[in-house]
Amino acid sequence: MYMGLKFYLKKFFGRVYHFLERIKNVVHHWTIETHYNVLVDKPVIIASSAKIDIIMGGSIHIGRDTQILDGVLILTYGGHIKIGTNCNINPYTVIYGHGNTTIGNNVLIAGGCMIIPSNHNFHDVEEQIIKQGCTSKGIQIEDNVWIGHGCSILDNVTIGEGAIIAAGSVVNKSIPPFSIAAGVPAKIIRNRK
């Protein structure tokens, strides 16, 4: 008799938990979609643990059929972030806006990537680096790009259409369309055409 009660209690509280999780997701989506500088073209999937926020101004536009998974951070830092349609941004990727970030359509970004369009200035050895400010020129990722796990995409870079960036690469120079790049720093290892 006791085992039956325990089973039904577990089942009941499991359903309550899942119901509350659904409500949390709805509220999370509503909070993002009603922000005055965030435009989300529906339908999209945004995990409840993803953080999408306007910091120091800027704007965010997320295209339809895009998936933003667990732990992703999308923060403007005064710049503009545009993510195209049908993109997949996998867990724990960080995308900043500083000097503007543009991601095209049908882009795959694996987990743990960093896309940061800003660099600290460090030319004056007499001054602390933290006091020298930043330079922010922007990042552009064109359509149909695949960025492998754990990549870092640095400021003033364009990744051309159809390019593939191998896992763990650091991209500090622009990559031509339909190239495969790998390494630290990333170098072109092959052309797809």
pLDDT (0 to 100) of residue 128: 93
pLDDT at 13 > cutoff 90 = no
Terminal Cα-to-Cα distance of the chain (whole angstroms) = 69
Say what percent of the chain tops pLDDT 90: 69
User: Where does residue 155 rank: exposed (0-12), middle (13-18), buried (19+ CB within 10 A)?
Assistant: buried
Is residue 1 over pLDDT 60?
no
Could you tell me the two tokens for 127? 């001054």
Nearest to 52, CA basis, from 66, 38, 64: 38
Question: What is the CATH class of 37-191?
Answer: mainly beta
Task: Give the C-alpha distances (Å, rounded to integers) separating 85 from 26, 34, 64, 132.
Answer: 21, 20, 5, 37
Q: Map tokens 């790009």 to a residue.
A: 145
Question: If you count them, how many residues does the chain have?
Answer: 193
pLDDT at residue 35, as a whole number: 66
User: Per mean pLDDT, which range of 30-44, 81-95, 153-167 is the poorest?
Assistant: 30-44
Strand order in the sheet with 94-96: 51-53, 73-75, 94-96, 114-115, 152-153, 170-171
Q: How many CA atoms lie within 13 A of 169 on its CB side?
A: 24
Q: Are strands 187-191 and 114-115 parallel, antiparallel or unpaired?
A: unpaired
The reported pLDDT for the residue numbered 29 is: 61
Neighbours of 134 (CB within 10 A): 13
When pLDDT is averaged across residues 103-122 and rounded to a whole number, the result is: 96
Q: Is the pLDDT of residue 24 over 60?
A: yes
Q: Enumerate the active-site residues.
A: 120
pLDDT computed for residue 23 by the predictor: 72
Q: Say if CB 191 and CB 179 are below 8 A apart.
A: yes
Instruction: Band the pLDDT of 18: cuts 50, 70, 90.
Output: confident
Q: Is the pLDDT of residue 32 over 70?
A: no
Question: By C-alpha distance, which of 42, 49, 38 is closest to 65?
Answer: 42
Say if residue 26's pLDDT is above 80. Answer: no
pLDDT of 31 reads 62
Phi, then psi, of 28 in degrees rounded to 5? -60, -50
pLDDT digits (tens, 9 = 90+) for 33-50: 666 688 888 899 998 889
Domain spans, the chain: 1-34, 37-191
